[in-house]
Every structure is written in C-alpha cells, then in structure tokens.
Amino acid sequence: MAYKLHMLNEQGIPSLINGVDSAEDWPKKRSDILWRWQEMIGKLPEKVPLNLKIHEEIEEDGFIRQRVTYNTADADIVTAYLLIPMGAEEKRLPAVIALHGTDEMGKDSVSTNNANHFKNYATELVQRGYVVLVPDALTAGERIKTGEKPFHNAYFYRDFPQYSSITAKNLIDHRQGIDLLESHQFVDGKRIGAIGHSFGGYNAYYLAGIDGRVKAVVTSCGFSMFTGDYRPQRWADRDWYTHFPKLTPMIAEGDIPFEFHEILALVAPKPVFNWSGQSDSIFPHWKSIASGLHHVYQLYEKLGYHDRFTSLIGAEGHDFPPHIRESAYQFLDKWLGYNVTSKGVINLCE
C-alpha cells in the first residue's frame, strides 16, 4: 500500500478511524500500519546483555549524575548520563528516557549547564523526582565517529549494511536504555516514560510505538507530516542525515508508504503529549501537522481514551518554552504516578 502525495495534498490525509467502529477493530488496522512501518525501517536486531559500566559519579543540585556506558547491538556501546534523585535508594521512582535533538553535544545538550534554556528537560525532570537516562544517539556527543561530522551518517550505511535505516539502530539503542531503566533498583518498571525535542521528539514517539514498557511519551517539535511539507524528501537520501534510504525511489515518484500520523497512532492508547509551533522553521507546515494530530485525537476518542491525548499548538518556533515544558511535566506526573505542587513532589501514588 502506498499513498500518492499529490492526492493527499489535494484531498487531505487518510482517516485513522475508517473501519474502526469499536476498540476491537483497532488492533487489525494497527498491525497493517506497523507492518508498513517495519518494511521501511527494517527489522530490529535482538537485544544484548547491557554490561553497564559507571565511569564517573558527581553530586549535583539535588541529584547524582553518573556517566555510564552500556552495550547495544552490533558490538556497539551507548554513552549516556544516568541522573538519580537524592534519596532514591529509599523509593521506587518513575523514570524517563530523555532523547536529545539535533545537537552535536548530544546528551549534554539537554542535561548540563551547556544546554540551551529550552532544552534542559533532563535536569528539570530529575530535580522533579524522576530517574532520567540521557543517551547519546549515534552521530552525536561521544558517539561521533572519528573523522566524521555530527549527524552525517553515510558511514553508518557503509559500516552496517544489515540495517535498512538508522531509525532501526536508534530504536534498538533506546530499547537497551529501557532495559537499563527497567532493571535499575531505584526504578518502578511499570512507570517509564520518554521525552524528546525535535530529533529526540520523533524518536521518543517511535520508541513508544514499538516498546510496550514506555507508558507515556512527550514529543516537542518532533511531529511532522509528508503532506504539506515543502521538502518531504528530507526523510530520504541526503548529504546530511538520511533517515529512510528505502523511501528515496518512492518519494521521487511522488509516493509515500505511510503518513506520520499513522506512526504516532501506533502509540495509542498510551498517553501522548505533543507540542508544535506555528513559527517552526524546521517543520513550518503547521496546518497539515495540526490535521494529523486531530486525526490521532479522533482515534483516541474512538477508543475511549480522549483524556490520554494532549496536543498543544502555539505561535512559537522550533522551541520547547518553559510554560510548555511545565505542562509536559505535569502530564508525565499524572500518567506516571506523581502528584506535585509548585514546591515539588508531595506524594508518590503507588
């Protein structure tokens, strides 16, 4: 199955609730979407033993920062920070995997004093009481290959020809991260979420769509659509970061194998918080983005979980502003089991 992009631009995007008359009808439609998604990204390799190593531990403002490494598929190693609230040894806490955006600093860009003001969500969440894992994605941070530029991934397809997409690589790496959180003595494995901005935003909802252990997801400026995009080929082959090589010949013919609202719908009915900006210079086609999000909301409504889908659109740009971050954190608090006030955590709901 494929869509003609010009027809979507002219007639609108496909409905998610066509053929879904009740909640019992959704699994079949979901399996079709998942099959098309897996055909594009390729099969994920098997998980491997973590072999977690702690290389450094620093006490910071209200939390412990550990610089860690752990194994992933293909004899590869993920570099990450594990942020642990003070006093965590006495509790079983909710946890979040915090995925960074397109920033060469990788994990440092969302969890240190080097972070831009709108991207320090990892530190803010650990100070709120969450255990937070902040991994480097391949091509960023400590995982930039010697001699290569950040987010230039042509070498990946040469070195790892078994992969159909780097998206599959990111997903297996992040699933290893969920393994780490789930096995940690301070973490309640039933209360794990994902959050990300931009590149991290779409990787967060990709992860939540294929890993049932992720119970809630926040995506900031990471949801896009092919429809209405002035350069939909951004997702195919390019000199910089190629997401889906198999898409290249299709999109050259004006075809797409899925629309991204279908991929976000794979998360349903788990809680989703989305933030998009009308002045976003990366994804400026906010009207079609809003349409896609509305279709996902209709699905949640049809399934009987309308309260689990929150989508905010504002005038801002490619940003994760403070008031939106606060709303996102309250959303995670609600669905991962915290009650909070402005003074911080007051009760952990078991």
pLDDT, tens digit, for every residue of 14-44?
A: 999 999 988 899 999 999 999 999 999 999 9
Q: How far apart are CA 253 and CA 269, in angstroms?
A: 34
Collect all residues with Cβ–Cβ distance below 8 Å to 284 and sequence separation of at least 6. Answer: 230
- Kindly indicate the confidence band of residue 5, based on its pLDDT and cuts at 50, 70 and 90: very high
Query: Of 62, 83, 64, 94, nearest to 339 (Cα)?
Result: 94
Residue 219 forms beta bridges with which residues?
196, 274
The H or E element that residue 214 is part of is strand 214-220
Q: Is pLDDT at 48 greater than 60 in this prediction?
A: yes
- Kindly indicate the confidence band of residue 346, based on its pLDDT and cuts at 50, 70 and 90: very low
Query: What per-residue confidence (pLDDT) applies to 347?
Result: 36
Q: Is 221:197 a contact under the CB 8 Å cutoff?
A: yes
Q: How far apart are CA 138 and CA 154, in angstroms?
A: 12
**Taking all residues of the chain, what is their mean pLDDT, rounded to a whole number?**
93
Q: What is the dihedral of CA 274, 280, 284, 285, to 10 degrees?
A: 20
Tokens 């439609």 -> residue:
29
Class of domain 3-337: alpha beta
What residues does each domain of the chain span? 3-337
